[in-house]
Structure 1
Amino acid sequence: MEAVSGGCPPAERGFDVDQTNHSVIIDESVVVKWLTPPAPLPQPAPEMFAHLTEVGFTATATPYAAVTRREGGDGGEGAGEVLLALVTAYLPDASDGWEWCVDEAVRGETAFAAELGTLAADLHAALATSSTVIPSPVRHAPTSPEPSARALAALEEALTLTGGEDGDWLTAHSGALRAGLAPLTGAGPTPLIRIHGDLHVGQILRWRDGYAVIDFDGNPTVTGADPFQPAARDLAQLTTSVDHVAQVAIRRRGADPAAAGAWAAAARTALEAAYRARLAEHGRPELLDDSLLRPFEIEQECRELIYSARHLPRWRYAPMGVLRSWYG
């Protein structure tokens, strides 16, 4: 058996990288992902796996089992069940996006982007399909202040935690960032679905037979959020992760900044176009509210800065590089 850790850029730990869970490959057949510490149920992954299996979504590592344990002594008051591990199929020759996508950035290749856009749209169409697990997969909630409040709080926290020249730059551009978040305040009702919640390139494996999206545990840095969210939140996180790949290629692989920036812009454009086209093929174009994309992208970069300040200071170059590319 072989122990493996969560995907991340070489010598790097990005914002949404799984740093605590421990995965073991057994006989190149299955992967057992041990949650450390065990997580109280309910957890999103078992339910998401069951739903996706029922509706026929196969672009993931085939789920086999969820290992749970009853805690609380004799099972009386205070007892609860915890999730110990998830067992999925082993994908031969797999590497995550912090490896293969950085290689693509260095080479200037963008053909992968359309495939990722199609994969994300297929995932969202599957999550918007009814099953016995999630019989009402799409909600049409009225306008809510929650997305705006959550994003503005992330910006304020990023401003507080980011120091030095980066902090000065962030403060100087705080007005533009708030303006970028403004569409969340006036956003009308938009379809809400169970999203992946942590959809970045590190969660997309390139393996012998194509691409697979993994890790349906939700965003480990956001607590208390409704599991039903606009599809644009997933797409925004995926597109910003492409920008982060460009920053990693510049910092760690010596890529030319102008060329890496042009690569990221082209890849994002291709990814979004393929995503929209595939949603249309599924007859679900209404799942994407374009007006939410940039606000969610800004919020994502703020969360990257928060994570960097709290856990990994050297990662700050990536979100700051992205924000500087957006705001001159």
Structure 2
Amino acid sequence: MNPSSTEPDGPPSPERTPTAGDGATAALVAALSRGDDPPGGQAVVRFHPLPPVRATAHERGFDVDQTNNSVVVDERVVVKWLTPPPPLPQPAPQMFAHLTSVGFTATALPYAALTGRSAGGAETLVALVTAYLPEAADGWEWCVEEAVAGRTAFAADLGRLAAGLHAAMATPSPAFPEPVRVADGDADGGWAARARDALARALELTCGEDGAWLARHASELAAGLRGLGRAAGTPLIRIHGDLHVGQTLRWREGYAVIDFDGNPTVTGADPFQPAARDLAQLGTSLEHVAQVAILRRGADPARALAWAAEARAVLLTAYREGLAAHGRPELLEESLLGPFEIEQECRELIYAALHLPRWRYAPMGVLRARFPHRTEETA
């Protein structure tokens, strides 16, 4: 959702969470690469064969803030230890199985998912094992560089990447035999109500000058959400759920979308959603990149905002063309983009208030740019 987030650590087993350098992760990868059961009594779901790895292989961590604890083994395999292990079912293993089956490769190749049981006996997701992508840069790094330089050609790559992902998600597989549904007349009781709740929560949690600004614009924001109540007939697919530039790596061989864990700030949402929700979040994240460039890199505000607008337009054009090339143009209901974008900014404000206060400048910067020059009413 944003370029820096943390959560309390928790163990994948009753004993401890493996960390880089203690040898436990390399031992796991070595066992999996031999076809053995994982040490420690956990169960494993396999997606692709692992490369051969020695139990004494080198381990290292990542020099970035992470929600979970990821360890790189032998510069070829990444093990993401979930901290704490969430209860199953979780979206990532299902997504891995589906994408493997339909041949989607624009991601870190999934090798395996490790499951275990909590102290209370519930089945949990302990770890995800994927390929390591050489020379990979996080989107909050490479995309800010693009913003500072004023380049937007990359956005076409992101649009095609998102279109390819959604076309793959709409393709039947043993994991998702019926991957496309259609929104019925109860859409207003789901998406619209959830968006209104997000706006109300953002108004409640955002304080100070920003909170006052938000309150003055509440009616405009609410009006922008009304389109969510008129979406009957929209195709629904299993979307990424948390698709922003930070989930797109630029690596030696191109771009890859990662982290199919779903949105950490949303609970209880139907996994089948309009493709427009992913695209809206990806587009607004480009606007967040512009705000990062302004604050952290001293970019000219007018130029950064113009860059974001151009990048979003390039993204949308490439996404439309990508869906058409895959024969799935009907997956995008464009009338939902604006409302989902407003909802996303509300969710960013909620996240900032609850987890990362310093992030508030980014969604507020986006909202102020979208609703400028309002004449304030005076008593």
Long gaps (5+) in structure 2: 1-58, 373-379
Partner Cα separation in structure 2 for residue 327 and residue 5 of structure 1: 37
Counterpart secondary structure, 1:134: coil
8 Å Cα contact 2:147-2:289 kept in structure 1: yes
- Aligned partner letter, 2:327: G
Q: Deviation string for 1:269-289 (max 9, x for gaps)?
A: 000000001101111111000
- Aligned partner letter, 1:86: L
Match of 1:118 in 2: 160
Match of 2:196 among 152, 164, 169: 152
Partner Cα separation in structure 2 for residue 312 and residue 43 of structure 1: 25
- Aligned partner letter, 2:196: L
Match of 2:132 in 1: 90
8 Å Cα contact 1:148-1:185 kept in structure 2: yes
Match of 1:138 in 2: 180
8 Å Cα contact 2:183-2:231 kept in structure 1: no
Match of 1:3 in 2: 61
Match of 1:40 among 67, 70, 87: 87
- Aligned partner letter, 2:77: V
Partner Cα separation in structure 2 for residue 259 and residue 135 of structure 1: 46
Match of 1:313 in 2: 357
Partner Cα separation in structure 1 for residue 351 and residue 343 of structure 2: 12
8 Å Cα contact 1:5-1:23 kept in structure 2: no
Counterpart secondary structure, 1:69: strand
Structure 1 residue 141, shift from structure 2 partner: 3.0
User: Which of 105-114 and 141-150 deviates more?
Assistant: 141-150
- Aligned partner letter, 1:305: L
Match of 1:11 in 2: none
Sequence identity, in percent?
71
8 Å Cα contact 2:281-2:341 kept in structure 1: yes
Match of 1:218 in 2: 262
Structure 1 residue 6, shift from structure 2 partner: 5.9
Structure 1 or 2: larger helix share? 1
Match of 2:294 in 1: 250
Long gaps (5+) in structure 1: 8-18, 73-77
Change (3 A) 1:251 1:105: same
Partner Cα separation in structure 2 for residue 5 and residue 280 of structure 1: 39
Structure 1 residue 71, shift from structure 2 partner: 4.0
- Aligned partner letter, 2:179: P
8 Å Cα contact 1:242-1:268 kept in structure 2: yes
Q: Deviation string for 1:262-306 (max 9, x for gaps)?
A: 100000000000000110111111100000000000000000001
Structure 1 residue 183, shift from structure 2 partner: 0.5
Partner Cα separation in structure 1 for residue 199 and residue 283 of structure 2: 19
8 Å Cα contact 1:191-1:287 kept in structure 2: yes
Match of 1:170 among 200, 209, 214: 214
CA RMSD of aligned residues (A): 1.1
The alignment status of 1:100 with 2:135, answered yes or no, reads no
Match of 2:245 in 1: 201
8 Å Cα contact 1:5-1:21 kept in structure 2: no
Partner Cα separation in structure 2 for residue 194 and residue 319 of structure 1: 26
Partner Cα separation in structure 2 for residue 299 and residue 54 of structure 1: 33
Match of 1:23 among 70, 74, 90: 70
Q: Deviation string for 1:198-250 (max 9, x for gaps)?
A: 00000000000000000000001100000000000000000000000000000
8 Å Cα contact 2:248-2:257 kept in structure 1: yes
- Aligned partner letter, 1:90: Y
Partner Cα separation in structure 1 for residue 348 and residue 318 of structure 2: 26
Change (3 A) 1:36 1:170: same
Structure 1 residue 188, shift from structure 2 partner: 2.2
Runs in 1 of length 4+ with deviation above 3 angstroms?
A: none
- Aligned partner letter, 2:95: M
Structure 1 residue 5, shift from structure 2 partner: 6.2
8 Å Cα contact 2:182-2:232 kept in structure 1: no
Structure 1 residue 39, shift from structure 2 partner: 1.2
Partner Cα separation in structure 1 for residue 167 and residue 354 of structure 2: 35
- Aligned partner letter, 1:2: R
Partner Cα separation in structure 2 for residue 24 and residue 303 of structure 1: 30
